Structure formats: C-alpha cells, structure tokens
Structure 1
C-alpha cells in the first residue's frame, strides 16, 4: 500500500509564495510598472498558453527546448506554455497592434514556466516584467531601454547596479568580413564563449589576432571602446562598432554614475539578438537581474544580421527576473496592522485605512482585544478611540 503524497510537496523548481513575500513581490512589480508607464510604455497582457506554432516561430525557436507542450482538447492542436514573455509581446505588436504608430512602447508583467532551471536560477516558474520598444533602429532606442532598466531598478530599491553591454553579432560580422568558413566560425564562437584564448589562437587563422584583441577589450566601457577603436575591423563589423560607441556615449551622458562594462565577444543567452544587448547585475547578488537587447519582432534575422535586414520589425527591450530582483531589494519592514474589536465604528476603520493603516476586524467579542491582536500578529489595537501598541 503506497503512502499518500505529501500535499505540500511540489515539483522541482516550483514553490509557493507565502503572504509576506507575495505582498513584497506585488509592491516591487507595482514600482517597476509605474516607472515603465511614466516613460510612455503601455501595458499588455498576453495569455499564459498559445499555439505552439505561433509561440515558437521565428526568434521563439531559441526557447523550444525550454517549453512545456500539451494538446488542446478543443482545437486538437499543440499548445505551448510561455517560457518567456518577450516573444508574446512581439507577436501582439506585429499583429494586433500592427497599425499603431511607431515606435511602439509596450510593457508587461507575468509568470513564465520553463522545462528546467539553471545553476544560477534553479526556479522553473518565476515572474518577469519588462518593456519592448518596437519599430525603430535608432541607437537612441538602445540607450533608452538600458537607461529605463537602470532607473526602474533604482526605483524598486536596487543598489550597486551594473550593466554589461554586448554585441552578439560582432564576431559573426568579423568572420564574415574575413571570409572564414562556417565550421571555423562555429569553432571560434564556442572558444570565445569559453573565453579560451589558446583555442582561439589555434583555430582562428587570419582572424586569431583580431578576435584575441576583441577578447582583451572586455572590461570598463571607456577602456573597451578605446581598445576596440585601435583594432582594424573589417568593414562588415564597422556598423556594430559605431553603434556600440554611440550607445555608450548616450548612456554615459545620461547616467555617468552607472557602472558600465563591455564584452564585445559574449554570445551565450543572446542567440536571437541582432545587435546591442545587455545584462543587468547588482554587486553581491547571485544571478542576473535581467537581460535585454535588439532583435527582430515577427521574423527571424539571418546569422550576422546587424539590425538592417528586412526580416521582421526592428525592436529592442529588456526582461527583469523578479526572483533575482527581490534578492537585490532590502527586506520590507513589517506592515503596521491595527486590530479592530467588535463594535468599532465602521467609519473609524475607513479613516484608518485612508491614513495608510492595515486593519484586521474582530469576528467575536473578546475580553482581551490586545492579546488577540498579538495572536494575529497585529502591531496595534484600536481602543477608546485611540491606536494603542499591542506589544
């Protein structure tokens, strides 16, 4: 005879969010969304499940191995549970909002589910909030989303924020400009992902010195820009370099205090990005706060695309990961709660709530309201027309 399953047991990577943490998360989401809205980004709300063929088309194919699938008993078609919300917002922009004026600014927030977690993020279900800026190729758009991510995180209470800028297309542009064969480019890409300078030198051929120089340009943004400027890049990579220079200049002008770094050869996690991309961190906090970058909404850009192809609409944006963001924000102070004994005038409760108090009503007549207040974890009790400490 099998033992009954523990009802509190959940699958790996899933967990319940209990009252205090749930309230804290809701508060942080409100702060982030308010910052997005104040910068002109309008909120959309896509469904949790979509047709697989739609959700995983184009750039969505990069998330195929992380996607849960199930059969729709109504349509008899395969459905997919969203592993990321960026793909859905891009779909909305290029279909339902196709006739809206560009650039289109959209924001979103919700839960996503993935097949498996990672070493840094073991959670399989977690919250995302973010924005998408769709319909423009201007470097000012790249800078706008980086700066908005920075300011939104600051508004939520995150400190010691840093941004690492990347150009996922730069290596491909260099290899294409030097006419390297695809298999060699692939091996170089893998070596660069591992930051394996010896392997780059061994297989890089005529690109070895140039790619090694690009690896050495990683670090603080001003130094990286200076080192990249000294490299003799092929013409195919010039557009990427010019855009990076301009985006760094714009960010530096608007937020000189921001810790800004550049890694020109980083590619992992940016498989469907087509230009300037970035990762957000907070010193001392495990994992990434979020990621963003340029991509093609509604289409799949060819390898090495620098954002100028006609495959889909040009777009850029970012996603913040709430599990990491919450780790980066100081624990909230306990919420003051006032216990209202039976017989308290309802208008008094309304007045207290208008003043910002949380009220908890008694459901029975009590000899010792203060003791009941303490039992229910209320900090205060209303008695004789006054708010008294329950401690």
Structure 2
C-alpha cells in the first residue's frame, strides 16, 4: 500500500516538468514586472490563517476552504484567495501607510472546489489590490492594468467584460424583490438563463414593463451603446449612478487606447454580496470560464476595523498557460548553448570559462574528464549547438557541433 501511494500525488494538485515549469515561471516573472512597473509593491501573506479571516466574505463558501486545527483547537484555513489576507494586512500592519496603497502578489491558493472546471485544489494566482482610491479612476486603473498584464503574459486574443452590481441592486430596490428571490434571480441572470428568468417572473407581482426589462438583463451586452439601453430601463438613483460610473470608466479606458479590449455586460452580476460597484472578468476563446476576475469591494476592510475603498483583480496562471498554448504562443524553452569539457588537470580553466559565458547570458554545462571527441559527441546527443575544451594549451575556440561529427 505504501509503495503505491509513494508513486502518486493527491487529486487536485500537479507536478510541473521542465518545460511546464519554465513557461509558468516566465509568466509569473512577466506579471511581477508588469505590476512593479505600474507602481504596485509585492507582499506575501501566510499560506494559512485563522478561518475567521475568511468567514467575513460572502463570496467564500466555507465548504470551499481546506480547513484544519492548530494545537489549541482553533480553526485554520489554507488561503483560498489573496484579497482577504491583504485586507487584513492593510488594516492591521499598514495603518500609517500613505494612500492609495498599491499592492500585488503571486502565489499559491487552495480550495476544495477552486477552479471547478478542472477540480484543482492548489492553484497559482497573480493579482493586484488598489486600496484607498475610490470611483472610476481606481476602477479604470486596475482594468487597464489587467489588460496590460494579459498582453505582457503573451496573450493576443482576449476580452474584458465589465459590469456594475449596483445596476442590478437598483432594479431589485425598484421592484421590491425580497433577498431570497433576488439571489435566485441573480443566479439566473448570471447564467443568462432567459427561460428560467421568464418562468420566475411570470407570477411575480410587478408591472409587465419592468418584467420585460428584467428579462432583457442577460442581453445587455456589447459596446458603450448598451449603457444607453440600460439608462432607458430605469430611472432609479442606484441604477443611474451605476451607469454614470460605467460611462466614466469606459471613457478613461478609451482615452488609454484600450477600449478595443472591453465590452459592457450588465448581465454579469456574480457575488453581489462581496462587490460594491464595477466588476469585470477576462475571457479567451480557449476557455469556457474566466481566467481573470475582479471588481470593487469598498466595504470589505470594515471587517478588520479600517474603512477604505478598494478594488483589484486576480489572474489564474494556469489559465494563462492554457490560453497561450491554444494560441500557439508558448515560447520554446531555451536549451543549453555550450558544453564545456576539460581533462583532469584543467578543471579550473574550464570552470572559469563556463562562468564567463554564463555571465554573458549563455547557458553552459560541463562535461568533465572527457576527451574532446567525447565532448562533441555528448553535445550532439543533447542537442547542444557548440562545444569548448580546456587542456594544457588553454581553452579552445568554440566548436560548432555538426551532424556526423564524432
């Protein structure tokens, strides 16, 4: 029994082989660099925290989390996302920091149903949190950064869909729908299940015109013209404010030259108990689910004793890799470029020469205790294009390895 499990790994986790790890690290480096150059400083939080840190969020179901106990019997949870720990960090460790705070992260998160499309229990997220900057300026900044990050990771075919949870809340206020029914309707709208919406509203006590407007929600998708359609649906103050906010965000993204990547989707209403304004997601043709999600969560930090407006997003690194593969955009892993050999008396010279090449950015490996022809033979077998040899006469010039050389 033990021997069998020694050869396996638990469900929901994975090994990364050489090329896979190369691609993963390259994407992570690109994202880190993009965040840093945009003024975001990286932070790192523990892999597990007290369960109470996450229990305040309506978006994180407790059954999703991987939980265990500390020696004193307190419940701990492996990190299911980064937003809650960073909110705790900001409220408890960074009280005197100048606002706005721009923070970023790259690391592992864990969950029992995380990434339900692939049933992964450990996954890598990269993202940013912008704390202390309210309104459309903050929204536009993080959406623009999401677009740039996806481009810098190598993606060419993607789209950002933008919604506004306050528009849906305003409609619910207008019709006086109770919380339970509003949540059910929200799920149908998010799924774009037009038949279920129609059946639910069929016997609900409201005017025919507002019923018709609610049934149109899943279809309020497209360019900025959608905002005109939405404005005609309701004059409720929350709805009007939501549309005005989206207009301002879209205008800023247009000024940034990024509007071609953006669509408006007022039928996107996920996790409205968590988000408080603009929400967005990144999609590619390769995946039937988002590789990026984000939005404004202005009330989250209150749970930790600090009231700050906040917005951010999280990217799935594995999802980026899958999308890059589908777009044939994964760069080939560079191989060893030079194989350096030496006889037993010239190891020091060979090592010094190899270090010189490495300092110049040339991937270099050793073949010590070999004859020159053996070095060339090994280089050919390993696919290394050049070889060098150190002996009593010094280091020979690089030898081009050609097919048929011994």
State the TM-score, normalizing by the size of structure 1: 0.89
- Matched residue, 1:346: 351
Structure 1 distance, partners of 2:263, 2:91, is 33
- Matched residue, 2:386: 380
**By how many angstroms is 1:117 displaced?**
4.4
Change (3 A) 1:63 1:190: closer
Quick check: which has more Rg, 1 or 2? 2
Structure 2 distance, partners of 1:127, 1:57, is 22
C-alpha contact (below 8 Å) 2:220/2:266 kept by paired residues: yes
**By how many angstroms is 1:377 displaced?**
5.0
Change (3 A) 1:29 1:187: closer
Report the more deviating stretch, 24-33 or 324-333. 324-333
Structure 2 distance, partners of 1:163, 1:266, is 12
Detail structure 1 runs of 4+ shifted over 6 Å in the superposition. Answer: none
1:313-355 Cα shifts (integer Å, max 9, x gaps): 2100010100011122322223131211134533321221122
1:61-85 Cα shifts (integer Å, max 9, x gaps): 6242211111112x43221100111
Structure 1 distance, partners of 2:385, 2:83, is 42
Report the 3-state secondary structure (helix = DSSP H, G, I; strand = E; otherwise coil) of the residue aligned with 1:62: coil
Task: Find the partner of 1:69 among 43, 67, 70.
Answer: 67
**By how many angstroms is 1:37 displaced?**
0.6
**By how many angstroms is 1:87 displaced?**
1.5
- Matched residue, 2:393: none
Map 1:279-358; keep pairs closer than 5 Å.
279-295=281-297, 296-299=299-302, 312-329=307-324, 330-337=329-336, 338-342=338-342, 343=346, 344-358=349-363
Matched, 1:15 2:14: yes
Structure 2 distance, partners of 1:19, 1:82, is 27
Change (3 A) 1:275 1:36: same
**By how many angstroms is 1:178 displaced?**
3.1
**By how many angstroms is 1:21 displaced?**
1.3
What's the C-alpha RMSD, in Å, of the aligned pairs?
Answer: 2.5
Structure 2 distance, partners of 1:30, 1:389, is 33
1:184-243 Cα shifts (integer Å, max 9, x gaps): 42342233233233235415523412212333322x222312211322331232221211
Report the 3-state secondary structure (helix = DSSP H, G, I; strand = E; otherwise coil) of the residue aligned with 1:111: strand
C-alpha contact (below 8 Å) 1:145/1:316 kept by paired residues: yes
Change (3 A) 1:269 1:187: closer
C-alpha contact (below 8 Å) 1:59/1:299 kept by paired residues: no
Structure 2 distance, partners of 1:317, 1:183, is 28
Matched, 1:46 2:42: no
- Unpaired runs of 5+ in structure 2? 390-395
- Matched residue, 1:368: 374
Q: Which structure shows the higher helix fraction? A: 2
Report the more deviating stretch, 14-23 or 56-65. 56-65
Map 1:163-178; keep pairs closer than 5 Å.
163-178=160-175
Report the 3-state secondary structure (helix = DSSP H, G, I; strand = E; otherwise coil) of the residue aligned with 1:362: strand
C-alpha contact (below 8 Å) 2:49/2:79 kept by paired residues: yes
How many residues get paired? 379
- Matched residue, 2:143: 146
Report the 3-state secondary structure (helix = DSSP H, G, I; strand = E; otherwise coil) of the residue aligned with 1:227: helix
C-alpha contact (below 8 Å) 1:36/1:131 kept by paired residues: yes
C-alpha contact (below 8 Å) 2:170/2:238 kept by paired residues: yes
Report the more deviating stretch, 165-174 or 134-143. 165-174
**By how many angstroms is 1:171 displaced?**
1.5
C-alpha contact (below 8 Å) 2:147/2:261 kept by paired residues: no
Matched, 1:213 2:216: yes
C-alpha contact (below 8 Å) 1:173/1:237 kept by paired residues: yes
Structure 2 distance, partners of 1:291, 1:127, is 14
- Unpaired runs of 5+ in structure 1? 302-309
Structure 2 distance, partners of 1:23, 1:222, is 40
Report the 3-state secondary structure (helix = DSSP H, G, I; strand = E; otherwise coil) of the residue aligned with 1:225: helix
Change (3 A) 1:12 1:117: farther
Map 1:104-253; keep pairs closer than 5 Å.
104-197=101-194, 198-199=198-199, 201-204=201-204, 205-206=206-207, 207-218=210-221, 220-253=222-255
State the TM-score, normalizing by the size of structure 2: 0.85
